Chains A and B, each alone.
Chain A
Amino acid sequence: MRRRAKTCPVCESGVRVLDFKDERALSRFTTERGKILPARLSGMCARHQRQLATAIKRSRYLALMPYVRGAGR
């Protein structure tokens, strides 16, 4: 049995560039602790996975997303 090929959720939605200012969309691709999901789990194509990593890191720098969710509480 062959597993069905995973499709990139970002390509499917027709978005070309992930926006680091849109923290709600980005947080879909983090764990509950705020780690970036690996492509294996996020199902993203390589290009979008790279964009995702950059976008989340920028978003963290701007305090739109936490580095560690639930830290210091």
Chain B
Amino acid sequence: MTRHYEMVYIFDSAMEEAQVNEHLERFHALLTTPEKPEPVTSVSHWGKRQLAYAIGGKEIGYYVVTQFEAPAAQLPEYERAIKLDDSVLRHLLVLNEGEAPRAPRTSDDDDDGGPDREEND
């Protein structure tokens, strides 16, 4: 059984977009299963932005938000790889239940016609 997840990465701001993509590719390879050759439904680069507080002495981070669909059994290995990667300052993996994958918004408004977008975690 697969579930929808949302992942936010904060990379070291010293990295360029190409390097970030390289790392992302490596992580996403760990999510790929024979039944689901294309697990990642959306990748959104926020780019460099100021951190609200310093993380490991760094004031700026490179944010990437991705959404993917994967079986839970794939996740421990995936997260382990991310934790071991020194270029990822921080990451957050959350369930993205009931929400259809779509382009992330940058504006404040969020109109929604869907019947159910409950988040149960």
Q: Which residues of B contact A20 (CB under 8 A)?
A: 94
Question: Does B51 belong to the interface (CB within 8 Å)?
Answer: yes
In the complex, the answer to whether B112 meets A16 with C-beta atoms within 8 Å is yes
Count of CB-CB pairs between chains A and B under 8 Å: 52
Question: Does B25 belong to the interface (CB within 8 Å)?
Answer: no
In the complex, the answer to whether A21 meets B8 with C-beta atoms within 8 Å is yes
In the complex, the answer to whether A19 meets B90 with C-beta atoms within 8 Å is no
A67's contact among B53, B99, B116, by CB below 8 Å, is which? B53
Question: Does B52 belong to the interface (CB within 8 Å)?
Answer: yes
Identify the stretch in A1-9, A37-45, A54-62 within 8 Å (CB) of chain B at 4 or more residues. A54-62
> Given A16-B118, A17-B99, A66-B53, 10 more contacts at CB 8 Å?
A14-B112, A15-B111, A16-B117, A21-B65, A58-B94, A61-B92, A63-B51, A63-B52, A63-B53, A67-B53
Residues of B within 8 A of A (CB): 8, 10, 51-53, 55, 61, 63, 65, 90, 92, 94, 99, 104, 108-112, 114, 116-119
Which 3 residue pairs are nearest across A and B when measured between Cβ atoms?
A63-B51, A66-B52, A16-B117
